[in-house]
Amino acid sequence: MPLTQWSEAWRTGDETVDSQHIELFRMVNGLHDAIVAGQGREQLTVTLDALAAYVGTHFQTEERLMQQGGYPGFAAHKAKHEELKKNAAKVIDDYRSGRAVLTISLSRFLADWIRHHIDGEDRAMIRYFQARSTHPPG
């Protein structure tokens, strides 16, 4: 059973962002399943790296949309992205070096972060564009 599931209530109205969010849910569930199954360090590292790369791509997409659309909350939203990327890089580095193990608390944290980020920052961005009768550029 998946750790977290995509909900249509999280649709932002931007097809690219929404499809990336759906993929992030799938990847977090995949990481969770790998941790629960006790997959080896090599496989977990591959899974972590793929998730981190995809998160980076997703954040670039959102940041481009915000910049192109003149979103006034860009700096604060980007700061949330940077904070997660920094924390993720530390987790990955600690795991690679053997200073940390991966537990289901990591996948739970990521699932919660995604849900809260969509409900908070991403919804605020979309409301801004909708209030101006514009669609996020993209």
- Whose tokens are 């199954």? That residue is 37
Residue 125 CB burial class (10 angstroms; 0-12, 13-18, ≥19): buried
64-92 exposure pattern, b = at least 16 Cβ within 10 A, e = fewer: ebbeebebeebeebbebbeebeeebeebb
Task: Report pTM.
Answer: 0.87
Q: Compute mean pLDDT per 10 residues along the chain, 138 residues long, and list them.
A: 87 88 94 91 89 94 92 95 91 88 88 91 87 64
For the chain, domains (ranges, CATH) are 14-131 (1.20.120.50)
Q: What's residue 43's pLDDT?
A: 87
